[in-house]
Amino acid sequence: MAQSAGVVTGEQAKSITRSTSAIAKTLEDFTPEQEYYIGRSVGAVIVNRYRPYPNAQANIYLNLLGQSLAQASDRPETFGGYYFLILDSDEINAFAAPGGLIFVFRGMLRCCRSEDAVAAVLAHEIAHIQLRHGIRSIEKGRQTQALTILAAEGAKTFGKKELADLTRTFEGSIIDITSTLINNGYSRTFEQAADASAVRTLSSTGYNPNALVAMLREMEKRLKPGGLDFAKTHPSPRSRIEDIESLVGRSALTEPPARQARFRKVMENI
């Protein structure tokens, strides 16, 4: 027998009940599964706007490095796993979509002088996912509306109006997140937290956290005031450099020859 429109199956009802219980702990937290699907939608918007870079070797390298860093982070697993992709754009930027999707622009990679620098970029973006900054950029009103609908209707059925309301709410959530990533950026508080987490991840994996400072200095040279990339969506590199150096101090950047060789082999033509 065909399922009636608006009726949720028993399995779906169980899933909704589990989700509602988890969400009830804090209005800021979606379940990992919900975060994954929201992140997939955000990722679709991003790749529709920016073309993926069709260099298999470079993308494999980025994923191998990113997976190693993710495993050393405070959130080594997500519902759908971590995925890393290079975007074919000269913009100096990188995005982290909820759930584990990380996008790095070619322009950002051109600022990297070493594998430590690439690791610094990825560790910072992993930290945004770990700290759920994307999800936290959803307007509180939308979160409350979505959770209210789920709690009221999750036991048995969704009527047409509730389904329509829920669809609009989550569409709005995607807009909130993509607008933050592409247009507005995170607050300095969020960026400070991501940098501090990145420092811990880099240190635990044998990368020099001062590479994050070196990366920001290189970016500072290249960024144009009023630009549409990192300069628009992030605090100034100078302010972040000061914050990071207060955590790690200063030290010379040295890298094992084998590490630098594989970096150059893959990244020299980026």
- Is residue 222 within 8 A of residue 267, CB to CB? The reply is no
Give the integer Cα–Cα distance in Å for 59 and 165.
39
pLDDT of 112 reads 92
What single letter denotes the amino acid at residue 217? R
Q: Please write the tens of the pLDDT for every residue from 166-208.
A: 555 556 666 666 666 655 667 778 888 999 999 999 999 999 9
Q: Please write the tens of the pLDDT for every residue from 62-81.
A: 999 999 999 999 999 999 99
pLDDT of 48 reads 86
**Residue 170 tokens, joined:** 């989550």
**Residue 187 tokens, joined:** 């607050």
pLDDT of 211 reads 92
pLDDT of 239 reads 78
What single letter denotes the amino acid at residue 58? A
Examine the residue annotation and report whether 220 is marked as an active-site residue of this protein: no
Residue ranges in the chain whose pLDDT is less than 70 = 1-29, 137-185, 224-236, 251-252
pLDDT of 149 reads 52
- Is residue 37 within 8 A of residue 134, CB to CB? The reply is no
**Residue 111 tokens, joined:** 């600022």
What single letter denotes the amino acid at residue 96? A
Out of 35, 91, 115, 125, pick the active-site residue: 125
Tokens 């309301």 appear where?
A: 165
- Domain extents for the chain? 10-34+138-181, 50-135+186-267
